[in-house]
């Protein structure tokens, strides 16, 4: 029962296109190369390729994979692992993950080299100045998108969202915030009060998948004493760090990386900027922007940071270390999928955590905003507002919005920040 399904195993009445393990790998390589638009957009493309086109998984099973994938790490990568395991076991899972991440990692390494080698060139510096306000808009838009699905479900959820913001401002440990929120969700059975909960198990189209609410979000965080209002000075970062240090730091981050990409921002900001000073605040914002220019998950920000302190090998080590805990856990989840698919108590606990996570994500924008948005340069604030409108109202692709910011910075950099 717990063994992986044979390749493309579906009821006989449903036709499918046979796919070898290498064809599956090529499919995920293609998805990794064109998967712009964030985790939900990429997962929608996976559903179209693996469910609608290839018929390798049933829709319900695929949706379960998406939900379980949100326990730890970026859920698009975890969904790829889940699909690969269900089709071809352990080898298929690893191949799907590596193929999906390869294009983004390569691109981030290239952009990191260009950034740290030539970022003093005026045109590139202006582009990065213009990207800062757009990054703030991207984070706010992510919080808004998640908040619509989790904060507005009940008055209790709204209260948890507000309490998380207040607690973060008062520098309460995020672990305590999430634990209390989860306990409240469990006591009040919030998972059973979600208005869309009944739709998740029904076969759905790609559009239905795109609005499916997150089910699994943070369970715990390491004792990273991240403080949402502690702005680190833009001091020179160390040039090098040992590979062991890089691996240790990013494995710890990987163990705390629950709930999808934007949850990673406040954790990495605290570790890399506030505590270790491996990156300045401006470099961190630029790293977020560079990671958003790639088709993969925002977690490839680890590749940028690893490259900064330990070169090419450091970028690869940081990436592997960050994804290692999630990969191991997702392999276990995929193996025991049949047992975990119907645990209502877990859904209740995590439904309480959802709105608290939105509050913590919003705190990342509060932390980064003073660097990117300046009252002395009001155009930076206007640019952030325009970017937010393009993302939220007109549903522009993030790459195009980042392009608008970069172009603005190249044309009039002095209007956005002090050069």
Asked whether residue 412 is assigned to any structural domain, the reply reads no
Highest mean pLDDT among 48-52, 147-151, 214-218, 322-326: 322-326
**pLDDT at residue 313 above 80?**
yes
Q: What is the pTM of this model?
A: 0.64
Asked whether residue 410 is assigned to any structural domain, the reply reads no
pLDDT at residue number 7: 45
**pLDDT at residue 414 above 90?**
no
Which residue did the predictor score with more confidence, 179 or 64? 179
| Segment 227-270, tens digit of pLDDT | 333 333 344 444 578 999 999 999 988 887 765 566 778 778 88
Closest by Cα among 214, 178, 253 to 39: 214
Asked whether residue 306 is assigned to any structural domain, the reply reads yes
Asked whether residue 301 is assigned to any structural domain, the reply reads yes
The DSSP H or E segment spanning 111 is helix 75-118
Highest mean pLDDT among 60-74, 110-124, 384-398: 384-398
Tokens of 160: 């948890």
Contact 366, 228 (CB under 8 A): yes
Which residues are registered as beta bridge partners of 374?
Answer: 377
Q: How far is CA 416 from the centre of its chain?
A: 27
Tokens of 354: 């959802």
Overall number of domains in the chain: 1
Asked whether residue 34 is assigned to any structural domain, the reply reads yes
Asked whether residue 395 is assigned to any structural domain, the reply reads no
Closest by Cα among 301, 284, 282, 274 to 371: 282
**pLDDT at residue 306 above 90?**
yes
Mean pLDDT of 97-120: 88
CA torsion 286→289→290→291, rounded to 10°? 120
* Other CB atoms within 10 A of residue 360 CB: 29
pLDDT at residue number 102: 94
* Other CB atoms within 10 A of residue 170 CB: 10
In which residue are the tokens 């190249």 written? 410
Which residue did the predictor score with more confidence, 65 or 162? 162
pLDDT above 90 as % of the chain: 23
Tokens of 377: 């340069």
Confidence of residue 285 (pLDDT cuts 50, 70, 90): confident
pLDDT at residue number 50: 82
The greatest distance separating any two alpha carbons of the chain, rounded to the nearest whole angstrom, comes to: 67
Burial class (CB in 10 A: 0-12, 13-18, 19+), 244: exposed
Domain range for 272: 21-117+150-371
pLDDT at residue number 9: 42
Asked whether residue 6 is assigned to any structural domain, the reply reads no
pLDDT at residue number 328: 94
d(CA 143, CA 73): 17
pLDDT at residue number 210: 32
| Segment 20-76, tens digit of pLDDT | 899 999 999 988 887 655 565 677 678 778 887 778 888 767 877 776 776 677 778
**pLDDT at residue 221 above 70?**
no
Asked whether residue 403 is assigned to any structural domain, the reply reads no
| Segment 10-24, tens digit of pLDDT | 333 344 446 789 999
């Amino acid at each position: 029962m717990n063994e992986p399904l044979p390749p493309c195993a579906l009821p006989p009445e449903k036709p499918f296109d046979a796919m070898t393990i290498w064809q599956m790998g090529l499919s995920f390589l293609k998805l990794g190369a064109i998967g712009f638009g964030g985790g939900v957009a990429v997962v929608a493309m996976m559903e179209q390729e693996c469910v609608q086109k290839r018929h390798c998984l049933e829709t319900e099973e695929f949706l379960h994979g998406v939900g379980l994938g949100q326990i730890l790490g970026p859920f698009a990568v975890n969904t790829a692992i889940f699909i690969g395991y269900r089709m071809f076991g352990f080898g298929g899972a690893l191949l799907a993950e590596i193929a999906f991440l390869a294009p983004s990692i390569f691109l981030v390494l290239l952009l990191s080299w260009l950034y740290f080698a030539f970022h003093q060139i005026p045109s590139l510096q202006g582009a990065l100045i213009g990207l800062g306000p757009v990054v703030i808009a991207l984070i706010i838009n992510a919080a808004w998108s998640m908040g619509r699905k989790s904060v507005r479900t009940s008055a209790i959820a709204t209260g948890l969202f507000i309490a998380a913001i207040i607690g973060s401002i008062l520098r309460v440990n995020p672990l305590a915030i999430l634990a209390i929120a989860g306990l409240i969700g469990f006591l009040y059975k919030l998972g059973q009060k979600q208005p869309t909960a009944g739709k998740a198990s029904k076969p759905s189209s790609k559009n239905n998948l795109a609005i499916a609410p997150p089910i699994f979000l943070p369970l715990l965080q390491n004792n990273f004493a991240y403080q949402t209002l502690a702005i680190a000075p833009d001091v020179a970062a160390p040039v090098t760090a040992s590979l062991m240090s890089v691996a240790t730091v990013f494995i710890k981050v990987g163990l705390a990386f629950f709930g999808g990409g934007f949850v990673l921002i406040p954790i990495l900001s605290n570790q890399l900027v506030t505590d270790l000073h491996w990156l300045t605040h401006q470099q961190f914002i630029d790293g977020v922007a560079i990671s958003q220019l790639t088709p993969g998950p925002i977690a490839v920000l680890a590749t940028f940071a690893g490259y900064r302190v330990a070169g090419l090998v450091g970028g690869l080590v940081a990436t592997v270390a960050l994804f290692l805990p999630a990969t191991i856990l997702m392999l276990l989840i995929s193996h025991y999928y049949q047992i975990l698919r119907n645990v209502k108590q877990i859904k209740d606990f995590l439904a309480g955590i959802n709105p608290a996570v939105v509050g913590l994500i919003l705190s990342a924008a509060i932390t980064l905003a003073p660097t990117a948005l300046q009252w002395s340069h009001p155009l930076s604030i206007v640019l952030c507002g325009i970017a937010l409108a393009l993302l939220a109202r007109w549903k522009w692709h993030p790459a195009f919005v980042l392009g608008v910011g970069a172009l603005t910075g190249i044309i009039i950099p002095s209007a956005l920040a002090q050069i």
